[in-house]
């Protein structure tokens, strides 16, 4: 298949991109790694009249520490994040997540900004960004604003990004002391989109009472799903195997409403959620005690 005809722009500054977005808005699409957009254009599921290629904008490619936080430019490739020592020091949950995304060839091209903006409910990065309480910088010709990950993902492939806005930067706060993390997923083959995945942050005090729990699931709803009931089952309680079992049961029965499709039934996804969350909580707890 070939895409429908489109006009192509390859600007070299963010200001030029924002001017093009202001002019073309709804008719335009940003081209980042192209790993999701190009297939949908080839199948004519997307037919943008204007394509704005941001691969030449050097200051969208960066990984750095700023005021104790991890800051990442939207065009940073998955592979760069996977191999970055700055990422593994400040956001080890992100390092653990990256190898689960597709295959190396796709990770060489795909970008963090593209994955977040695309908001596929089966994608790893939206769930991990929510678990890490990341913020996203959205710029338009008239203003720039920071949006919390918890306000950004709205529905199936729907986000807070407006047609005239570009996602330019991602900020990830460093983990507080005695906070552990874990990312787990199950896919039919390594590199496939996951049947279910979970990204976990868990903090405990010196008595191993749970002081923070941020549990996010993927592939079980229209976007990344926060396990609110599971979190309540842990907060203020001992991080015991019994309470982790209760949290996993609450997640599977109350927090998620997974779809059935050709890959897995809804019941099987609930079962996987329970098993994966239990494993992830145990790993996060062990790490929290040493952090």
Ligand X SMILES: Cc1cc2nc3c(=O)[nH]c(=O)nc-3n(C[C@H](O)[C@H](O)[C@H](O)COP(=O)(O)OP(=O)(O)OC[C@H]3O[C@@H](n4cnc5c(N)ncnc54)[C@H](O)[C@@H]3O)c2cc1C
User: Which residues contact ligand X (rule: CB under 6 A)?
Assistant: 29-37, 39, 74, 101-102, 106, 110-111, 113-115, 117-118, 123-125, 161, 166-167, 193
Least distance to ligand X, CB of residue 92, Å:
19
Give the nearest distance from C-beta 194 to ligand X in angstroms. Answer: 7
Q: Which one, 163 or 176, has the nearer CB to ligand X?
A: 163
Q: What is the DSSP string of the chain?
A: --PPP-EEE--SSHHHHHHHHHHHGGGEEEESS-TTHHHHHHTTS---SEEEE-TT-GGG--EEEETTEEEEETT-BHHHHHH-HHHHHH-HHHHHHGGGSS-HHHHHH-BHHHHHHH--TT-HHHHHHHHTT-EEEEE-SS-EEEEEHHHHEEETTEES--TT-EEEEEEEPPPPTTEEEEEEEE-SSTTSPPSEEEEEEEEE-TT-BEEEEEEEEESSSSS-EE-HHHHHHHTTSB--HHHHHHHHHHIIIII--PPP-SS--HHHHHHHHHHHHHHHHHHHHHHHHH-
| Residue placing its CB nearer to ligand X in the complex, 192 or 286 | 192
Residue 125 to residue 251: CA distance in whole angstroms = 20
Rank residues 114 and 227 by Cβ distance to ligand X and give the closer one: 114
Cβ 74 to ligand X, closest distance in Å? 4
CA distance 78 to 98: 7
- Closest to ligand X by CB, 125 vs 256, is 125
Task: Tell me the closest approach of the beta carbon of residue 82 to ligand X, in angstroms.
Answer: 12
Least separation in angstroms between residue 190's CB and ligand X is 9
Shortest distance in whole angstroms from residue 136 CB to ligand X: 9
Rounded Cα distance, 289 and 291, in Å = 6
Q: What is the rounded CA–CA span in Å between residue 276 and residue 154? A: 25
113 vs 180, which CB is nearer to ligand X? 113
By beta-carbon proximity to ligand X, the closer residue of 29 and 270 is 29
- In the complex, the smallest distance separating the C-beta of residue 161 from ligand X, rounded to whole angstroms, is 6
* Residue (46 or 209) nearer to ligand X, CB: 46
Measured from the CB atom, the residue of 113 and 221 that comes closer to ligand X is 113
How far is CA 232 from its chain centroid?
23
Q: How far is the CB of 256 from ligand X (least distance, A)?
A: 19
């Amino acid at each position: 298949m070939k895409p429908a005809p489109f006009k192509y722009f390859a600007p070299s500054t963010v200001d030029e991109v924002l001017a093009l977005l202001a002019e073309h808005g709804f008719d335009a699409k940003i081209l980042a790694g192209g790993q999701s957009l190009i297939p949908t254009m080839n199948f004519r599921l997307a037919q943008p009249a204007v394509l704005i290629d941001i691969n030449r904008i050097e200051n969208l490619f960066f990984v750095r520490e700023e005021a104790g936080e991890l800051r990442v430019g939207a065009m940073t490739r998955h592979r760069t994040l996977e191999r970055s020592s700055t990422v593994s020091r400040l956001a080890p949950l992100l390092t653990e997540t990256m190898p689960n995304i597709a295959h190396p060839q796709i990770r060489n091209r795909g970008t963090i900004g593209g994955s977040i903006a695309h908001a596929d409910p089966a994608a790893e990065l939206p769930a991990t960004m929510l678990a890490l309480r990341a913020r996203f910088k959205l710029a338009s010709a008239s203003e720039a604003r920071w949006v919390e990950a918890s306000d950004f993902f709205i529905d199936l492939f729907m986000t807070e990004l407006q047609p005239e806005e570009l996602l330019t930067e991602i900020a990830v706060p460093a983990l507080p002391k005695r906070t552990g993390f874990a990312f787990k997923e199950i896919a039919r083959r390594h590199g496939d989109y996951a049947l279910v995945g979970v990204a976990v942050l868990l903090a405990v005090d010196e008595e191993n009472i749970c002081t923070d729990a941020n549990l996010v699931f993927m592939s079980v709803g229209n976007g990344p799903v926060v396990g609110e009931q599971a979190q309540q089952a842990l907060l203020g309680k001992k991080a015991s195997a019994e309470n982790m079992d209760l949290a996993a049961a609450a997640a599977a029965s109350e927090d998620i409403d997974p779809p059935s499709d050709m890959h897995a039934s809804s019941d099987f996804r609930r079962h996987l959620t329970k098993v994966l969350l239990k494993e992830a909580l145990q790993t996060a707890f062990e790490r929290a005690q040493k952090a």
